[in-house]
Structure 1
């Protein structure tokens, strides 16, 4: 017999709906594809931070938490391209470790802004979501000044030309600033963001990314592993 208690009825209805959704649209681990789990224990363990610090240009330093490969790459792509926002919670500890290693005392935290088209397509801003899940309270110091083309397939020089003038400071910025992005490839986007923040008045800007692409974004001579 169905319960006459409205609270119990609502709980039972939610459980039935969840069961139906799980039957018709089974969830799979974003890292390995195992069924009935968003992220299995093994893939979650693969997201433990392995911090790396590198210099993109003189005076432009970036700290990254994960190598963008294997499990980490698949989970980040699922967050960004498949709308699986719950994965931000599993990725957040790695980003928090990078922030802790990079953040000067009292630094203002901001993020590289998403384009309007990307926000409309996804309905959320992945970098802002990651930052908040990592315990940061980012301030919107930058906005998109002009739309840049898709960076995929472009070499380092073409990427820098593509993002030149892409960002604008919202207001004068003072003091130390941490700017967060999701994945470091050649560093073109971050170099542009750092330049705009400095021009707006920030006297020190450090970049932090959740992940870095192996073999890109700086040579081994320019990088160092940070003990965790």
Structure 2
């Protein structure tokens, strides 16, 4: 497993350019079927619109990509929408921009800017998340160490904690930082805990762009 970026959640946003309404709908889609179902849903919702242009990128390796101009001049709608997703390096994302024509023709350049802006504005609104492989670490400690561990592990994501004959912590750690985490725990507790590497999970955290 490797890191990859996705849109944070479902989102919609509207911009108006020269009296034309551009309503952007964006959501996650992990399969082509999910992406197409989302597109069909929006097209049905706005069956009276001038255009329902769409694009998607699906797969961790971005294998499935598609853009549709839905009647706009070729290359002026779906492609610039898709380019926004590609520029932000995100996948498993589907997008539809619904246009209600306002009576003023925008020209090819104007359409490219309008559809691209509709997607980029919505993406800025909803944000991006990063999915990355994380290691679940089992930490087994005596009850006498629980106060120390509760305090010092507060900066980590605790998946679960069990109180049995000892205290069992299940801590989610970046897969690249497992060795460092284990060394830190050994030093913190003077090697008085048992540490086991459990399953690897694909977890999601906010993506902070430079």
| TM-score after normalising by structure 2 | 0.27
| TM-score after normalising by structure 1 | 0.26
Which structure is higher in helix share?
Answer: 1
